[in-house]
Structure 1
Amino acid sequence: MRIRVFLLILTLFAAGPARTETGIRIEAAAGPSAVRPGDGGRIRVSVSVPDGFHISDASEGLFSVTPPDDPVFTFGAPAYPPGERDKWGSVYRGRISVSLAFRTQPDAKPGVYPVRLDVMMQPCDEVRDLCYPPSTQTVETVIELSHAAPPASPAPDGGGMTARLSSALERGSALAFLFVFLGGLLTSLTPCVYPMIPITIAVIGAQATGGRLKGFVLSLFYVLGISLTFSTLGVIAARTGALFGAFTQHPVIQAVIAAIFLLMGLSMLGAFVIQLPSAWRMKLHGRRRGGFIGAVLTGIVAGLVVSPCVSPLLVVILTWVARSGSVLLGFGLLFAFAWGIGVLFIVLGTFSGVLKTLPKSGGWTEHIERAFGWILIALAILFLKPVLSGFHYGMAWSVFLVILGTFWGGFSPLAAEASWKDRLAKAAGFLLILAGSTGLVLGILGQKAFPLSPSPGSGTITAPPSPDFGDWLTDEETAFGTARSTGRPVLIDFFADWCAACHELDEKTWPDPAVRDALKDVVPLRIDLTRTDARSREIQARYRIVGMPTVVLLDAERRELRRFEGFLPPERVVRFLESD
């Protein structure tokens, strides 16, 4: 530090460096591009420091951005990023972004106003081991005031289709059905639909005995059932103001779904036969519709699984239904959206029906049906996760592995002339039993050594371990107080433990280095809406939350700037945060 001060004293007697000598570039941009009198926005000052140089950070008192004293605008305090500490002290390298909020006077006249900001900095040449004296550069941007509404920020998730859907709905155009169908097709490629894939293969594959044609027809009826459930729940959510998907994630509903899949799996294993009353069965058999009715009923249950899937298009539909009150048209739009999701299931169901026609012997068919039965039992355990504690959930999987290994022949004696397939099956069964037994022993010992706290079995919902959210706040008042004192906007992430896309954001987007860097310009806040109670309903109504995840950016006065729904990859979230 003393060396640095000495160099500074020496360089005070020399002329300051030209901007071209250090190569530091300063830019400023205001956003949105046009605002109305009384509204506000943000100015972002970007400083690009070339390799081999650094500038002292704001904590050293040698870097600042000073807005003008302007009668038209009121400026907030600049939000400075933290520097990196090394032998030079706390410094900036590379690209630095400083943002400050502004608000226009309500009586300001329309026009284009230049805004000049003073940027004071001290550049240092690391190669020459030399720090230049602090200097001030002036950077200019313009802000347009107009009584016309400011242009809307482009949706970061490819909002062109969302905008077209909104326009089509307002015009009453039939193209709205095409847009929602395509939106459902895109939603089918997201992780929230993944649990439906094994269900579809198991259900259609077990019933399709006529090859691809039978599998295709059964898949159509299966998706019909999914669409009925999805559309009904969507209309109910839009008309009542409830969170879409929240009802089906209640522990009781999850337990019922798990019980249904468990019974279906046991039936496929031959434990018992699930069938309709004989009079109904005779009528259906005579008309050859028994399997189709079963596919519809199974699809209705499966629709409870896919209902938490939320996308921007779905939010537009639900919002429009809530505003217009048109239940019939809303049901039709949601029905089209569900059929878009169902395209994937139709493809899977069509080709899973081929499985039972490939082998010509009855033994292979029985093996395939039993495999589907075990898949459904495994899914039943998976759906019990929100109901069970971590200990009991682990115990359930351990018991499942022991039972599966036993049925696989882990305890069965081998004849002397046993084939290599029989020996391989016995080895696999033994390994499954060993894995399950190990899980049981470790779970019991761990429970005795470290007794668990009250578990979610009482009605709460557990979630997998989340990434580090140490920088995120959880209290609204604290967040907006920080926003007012720093001039930064508040970014709210509304999430729930039952929301698959929320977990995807937590695992893939928020920990991304580029996203974490962009979050330095906002006050990040997470609000948990897992529980449905008076508090969550009030928050949901206040922020107009239809489904989750929903991420909303607001200024310090709680005025919304923009939002997005559903999962977005890191690069799109960065654009969302940096767009003005």
Structure 2
Amino acid sequence: MLKTGKRHLYLFWSLLTLLAITLPVPTQAQFADFGLSEKAPVEKLAAKGYLSLDKVQPGSQFEIAVVVEIAKGWHVNANPAKEGLIATEVTLPEVAYLVFGEVVYPAGDVLKLGSIGEAPVYHDTITIGIQADLNQTAPIGPSTLDFQLQYQACDDAQCLLPETLNFSIPIEVVGIEGTVQRINEAIFADIEFGAPLGTAADEGSLQRALSGGQVWLAFLLVFAGGILTSLTPCVYPLIPITVSIFGANESAGLFKSFLLSVVYVIGIVVMYSILGVAVASTGAVFGQIMANPWVVGFISLILVTLGLSMFGVFEIRLPSAVQNRLNTVGGAGFAGAFAMGTVAGVIAAPCTGPALAVVLTYIATTGSLFLGFWLMFTYALGIGLLFIGIGTFSGLLSALPRSGGWMYILENIFGIAIITMALYFLKDVFPVLQNFLQNSLPFFAIAGGLVLIGLCLGKLTQRFSGIPARVKFQKACGLLLAVIGAYMFVGGIQQPAGPQLNWVYDEAEGFEIAKRENRLVMLDFYASWCAACNELDHQTYSDSAVAARLDDYVNVKLDFTRTSEITKALTEKYQIPGLPVVIFLNAERTVLKRFTGFVNAEDMLSILDEIENNAQ
């Protein structure tokens, strides 16, 4: 019996030794995968994320690429996967200030899997694309985005249990004064993104054309926007300048006038494009430059000087040597036209509207300076189309008789228009010019009366030079009344129609009133160059229902048109990344609601309902 037991023990150890020797290598690997070996498990998959921009600004769109490296000999199921198989899928983080678009998965390679049949799979290295939209409330500073990747790894012999891989992507959010540029272009080159995410409600068809890849439509809209801009009042001062440059050259034929006009417009185009690209590339806000008091003052001084010369107060003449050089046939004449065009481009700069603001934002957020340059080039061509026509046919003025009061009438009207625009530019520098403006019929009736009285007293058929002192005084009074009336009309149109809110323009004063009267506070952060801010004034705050509800609030309007120590402190205090921003608070400065961008009257009423319901 003992001998039989020893024989069985010997047989057991012999079989165990034989099993260890003959066990297939793949089976050992499987044991390793299930933790039955001391050997460390092999990583089947690794993931790393990349951004399309080195920094991201609030309100901008960007892309994310997830590069997945799959170990040799292994594969994961594609997305979409064959029915019944587990697809590889990225789980997006839940971030309040970030909106993700559709995740773009690459096409898989078809692999025949035994009884399952053909199925799409990924192997080696794949890149997954994600579009993202950072809203205006995003906090400034560095942070991380935490993603997850679900997958099931398989080889030729087995499939492991589904796993989840965690990985993070660093992101840095900078303010509107920061600079951004595109990076990792080689990684994003092969990702076929669809149309970008929808943008905010205040962005129009131009933004949708840009973001949707319809470049031809974007150029068409920009060109149309330039033509419409050329019809706005602040371009009027350029008309007499154009006439004076080309109409005074009596010897120029129609063709040469056309060429000079084209060169003149090219000067506008070049100046405009260079200014726009320079501003966008440095991350600055174009409107802030044009809101600088020194810039506005310089432009207004030029306009007043031109206007007074139109009245005949004095003559603006170049030195004879310079005048003779500019009047010579050939390159000098064209050089003079180009130089005057660049000056005209500066004067026309305040006419930039929402279309150009969208283009500049697009450049700043994508870094596409090349596309942005040509879009602004097209915009300026649209502005210049009017001046090509004026410059081409202005030479015909030389065929008209020079004597007679009709020419003086034309010059006086142009002078009134030019000085009116100087006052219009100065209204954002001197609040007294802004505060009395209204958008109402009685106000316009007064303005019209002043213009009519001014034209009657203004002696438009005469110039200041060569008339008696008494007539000069009468003419000066008449022209002054005409300018004031014209300014009231032009400035009044820009004001919101309907009810007017009672604004407080100091933060501390607003909260003092709120504490004293136990009222809620609305802080409105705005700037004169902010198109969406103007839409809030004209379409939302002017609504009678909204105005009636906001009458119970302390409404504080904080001007960010120009950067100052006060605006810097408010920016840091309230984390203002862009404009407009509206914040509702109680008297203890507790934030009740905050939104960025334009909202219409209906949405504003819903916001007020939410605030008041929560406050009860």
Using structure 2 for the length normalisation, give the TM-score.
0.45
Give the number of the structure whose alpha-carbon radius of gyration is greater. Answer: 2
Using structure 1 for the length normalisation, give the TM-score.
0.47
Structure with the larger RCO, 1 or 2 (CA within 8 Å, 6+ apart): 1
